[in-house]
A and B are shown apart, each in its own frame.
Chain A
Amino acid sequence: MAAALWLSLTLTIAVTARPALAQGTALWLDAGASSVRQPGSTARPAGTLGIGAEHRTRRFAVTGDGAATVATDSIGALQLVLRSHFSPLSWTLSEVEASTTTIGITMPGNDGNRAALFRQYVQHRAIRLFAGAGVGRTSRYGLDSRSAAQQLGAWSTRNTWRGTLAGTLTLQRSTTNDWQLIEAAGLVLKAPAPSYGLHDAAFDIAWQRARFAMSASHTWRAGFGETRGTGRGHAYAASWLVSGPVTLVAQGGRQLADPLRGIPQASYAGAMVRIQRGRSALPRSRDARSAGLTVFDGVAGAEYRLQPREGGGELVVTIQAPPDALVEVACSATEWAPVTMPRVGNAFVARLPLGSGAHRIAVRINGGPWRAPHGLSSVADDFGGRLGIIVVP
């Protein structure tokens, strides 16, 4: 597929080395800017504002992280991630993560993603092995798609006088029926199959010393079963604890489509500042935030409503005006014969049956200038005024 099927914005914030977290509570505020480009689309600048909190004891930790992302074209997203760790014994740790994302914060809707992931870690000396599984559900353009993933991996860390070095190897197998996401990433089915199948291998390396941290990762992807196609992703990040609570982060790379969280493939570059209160810690990894758009019917504050009917529709025009006002409506379908609108309740209401096609309409109050009803696209009327356009299917 030549272009991405749906537009979204993603920001991957601060994939840095995991610091050794002390016990206690921390609060942080993130603000950043980024440029994101999906396959087949132009780069879109975006800003993000995030807030988070974490409480950690010796055996238990819970983290809540919320972020709002808005692009210059006013597309936005809200994401909330809740993550908890439980470590009853020194050699084992359980992690549960749940995230929910609403894609399109400028308007309410049902589009978004819900995902949950469970990981179990077993530690032996400096090596930590883990296995995990997750499920995700993405709603986009009226379609609900489902994904599942299983992970195996190993994590190890080493302290030297040059700093702390950590490496992670993750193998993931995922399946999804989200064809909008997968086709946009360039993968296809070669024969009918229940779902797409993806194998990923990812290697992360991170280094931290004093106030500095850097990380790099590379991901290889290949389709399995009837899924054909490959992909490569990479990410780089650097952070600097400037002073006190302020940390600066720079990042860039190319992320592969994430079927679990419904995040599309994209290249990105950006910078972020974090202000943290509580125990000191560098920013930790955060999942990408996605944005898109949702179904929205009707215009807030509109003075019209179109109700479908056989062979056309009924346009209901509602004008707020003083009770003693004279409110008139005229349209091309009635040969521009002005019709006085009766008062119904607290407003003046007209019901105009319209056939299929494009119609022009205008209203006026007390003999004043004709104007387009609010909410309709308006054009010049060749007489020095404006009128509204309505298209009836």
Chain B
Amino acid sequence: MSYAMIVIVSARAIAVASLFAMAPVLVAQNTVTSDAATMGALDLIEDATARSAIRTLITDAAAHGLPTAPLVTKVREGLAKRATPDRIRSATNLLAQRLAVASSALAPSRSAEELAAGADALQVGVPQGTLRDMRRVWPTKPLTVPLGVLAEMIASGVPHASASRRVRDLLLKGASTAQLASLGANVRADIVAGLAPDAAMELRSRGVLSLIRAEASLSTVGPASPSTPIRPGTPPVKR
């Protein structure tokens, strides 16, 4: 799905019942955030029309159960970068739409960090379906780091499909967040060193997979399950 389509879908998604269903629970806590933290940032926007529009955006987001902290951070980022009020409004609006799509895809999560990571992934072109799929694979664990690594990899030039497939594989195999973050750093280093992004991603993810298997092999006691390959009794030594 292209980015343009994501935006269109997200606009519709805001109206769907799934988002409204969770809204009452979160309105209170997000209103606190918007009241306390937003004012300071918004007051720095000189244009009254833009300021009002952004305030409405943030209020609407809170009403729909979306975290407002990332939106306030976006406003602050725009101010720090001396962006025009209209540009700040536009950027905040885009982020609100991405948060709405991420919220729908990553439900039932309401973590601001996780939804912000989902929004970042959407920004670099990760399809909404991929977010849903990752939530299915990791229904209870936070996807903040995996989504961050996915966005990082795509931003580094790894094709969407390849990056998504490999991160998904790692989630299925039980990679830790440390291993995922390390994967991102190593792929980035490989790319800078001259390796093609896709090849770097493939190699590094296989490296993590082999470490996971080695750890599983070393910790396995008794007969292996049918789905687990039997490995030599004197396994390779970890360096």
Contacts and interface: CB of A to CB of B under 8 A. Distances in A.
Given A73-B195, A298-B189, A393 B234 contact: no
Category for how many chain A residues contact B? 35 or more
Interface string B15-37: 00000000000000000000000
Contacts of A292: 203
B87 interface: yes
Contacts of A176: 232
Interface in B129-169: 144-145, 147-149, 151-153, 155-156
A381 B232 contact: no
A5 B206 contact: yes
B209 interface: yes
Interface stretch (A137-145, A207-215, A246-254): A137-145
A306 interface: yes
Contacts of A302: 192
A293 B232 contact: no
A377 B152 CA distance: 6
B230 A190 contact: yes
B195 A143 contact: no
Category for how many chain B residues contact A? 35 or more
A332 B77 contact: yes
A370 B199 contact: no
B174 to A, nearest CB: 15
B145 A393 contact: yes
B55 to A, nearest CB: 18
Given A183-B229, A382-B94, A393-B178, A144 B236 contact: yes
A383 interface: yes
Interface in A371-385: 375-385
B109 interface: no
A177 B80 contact: no
B110 interface: no
B6 to A, nearest CB: 15
Interface of B: 72-74, 76-81, 83, 87-88, 90-91, 94-95, 113, 116-117, 120, 123-124, 144-145, 147-149, 151-153, 155-156, 176-178, 180-182, 184-186, 188-190, 192-196, 198-200, 202-204, 206-207, 209-211, 213-214, 217, 223, 229-239
7 contacts: A74-B199, A107-B189, A110-B239, A378-B155, A379-B123, A382-B74, A389-B120
